[in-house]
Chain A
């Protein structure tokens, strides 16, 4: 087992102690020999030789110590360099982690988009079918009533029950009836008006008006014909409404940007009020 070598400081102090002891002994021996006038052959010479040897060691060690001092300075500089490199590495590590996070997010979003694209590709509908359907609903009176429509006319002045219920408004109405979005008031259902609406689309319109009156909206738009109904909700309260569409009248309005064709509707309500 290797014995750890002593430090330079310990060796220097040890040699210095030796020098002190040897020089004291030498002076004492010399002083004694002077006072007693007795020669001490050999002993003082031996001590002197040891003193010279230790003095040489001391000088060598002092040179080593000076060199070690310079090496120490170099080591301090290197330690500062190591600290600087450590700081740089930590900074780089932080930046790499941020980049990893950003890239992971981007990859996740890209995968989600690819999934959406694939889904859309699988459920694609040809444009021809959409155009055919548009022609079919436009050929009948499914989107608006004929201009000369009067009550009793068998031609339908509104979309059929099935079409209305399969549309977005129909879904919204179902959701509202189920209380999902809470727009339909509970007292309206309790009043039993909705089941009493003769055509279902009347009921749907009534649903819409329930929405409108509840939310104090003024306008209901039904695409694709910009089918607009103007309602003044101050004429009646929601609990009294029983609406029957009795007439359509086309109205053309030109704004700065567009020319719109509206249909002004006449309604008959249960209270006898007529609203234009």
Chain B
């Protein structure tokens, strides 16, 4: 039986639960006593995934909303920078022509 690590590497892109389900089915086919252990592994993995999801930053919004907010922030920074640049480069001795 292949041992599947419970701790998932955050950088690892494979978040699939299918290998664990597969291991359980294999144990059931073999009538192995390890089936309960494999089921517990699956439960632990699901619980761990829940905890990981609750602590992940920036997923309280949908990607579309987040992108919109990001664009708004970029626009704010750009506008404020331009405004500052404009006023800092003003020559106070320039007299506007009538």
Contact = CB atoms under 8 A, between A and B. Distances in A.
Interface of A: 5-9, 12-13, 16, 19-20, 23, 26-27, 30-31, 34, 51-52, 55, 58-59, 62-69, 71-75, 78-79, 81-82, 85-86, 88-89, 92, 96, 99
8 contacts: A5-B62, A5-B64, A7-B59, A8-B59, A12-B59, A75-B58, A78-B73, A86-B80
Given A16-B53, A30-B25, 15 more contacts: A34-B28, A52-B18, A55-B16, A59-B15, A59-B16, A64-B63, A65-B56, A71-B58, A71-B67, A72-B57, A73-B57, A73-B58, A82-B73, A85-B84, A96-B87
B83 to A, nearest CB: 7
A22 to B, nearest CB: 9
Interface string B76-98: 11001101100110001000000
B9 interface: no
For the side of the interface on B, what is the size category? 35 or more
Interface of B is mostly: helix
B60 A7 contact: yes
5 residue pairs, one from A and one from B, having the closest CB atoms = A72-B58, A85-B80, A78-B73, A8-B59, A5-B62
Contacts of B18: 51-52, 55
A144 B89 CA distance: 70
Contacts, number: 118
A5 B53 contact: no
A108 to B, nearest CB: 19
B21 A26 contact: yes
Given A16-B50, A71-B58, A27 B83 contact: no
B60 A75 contact: no
B67 to A, nearest CB: 7
Most chain-B Cβ atoms within 10 A of its Cβ — which of A6, A52, A75, A79?
A: A75
Interface of B: 13-18, 21, 24-25, 28, 31, 39, 42, 46, 49-50, 53-54, 56-67, 69-70, 73-74, 76-77, 80-81, 83-84, 87-88, 92
B46 A68 contact: no
Contact of A23 (B21, B59, B64, B77): B21
Nearest to A52: B18
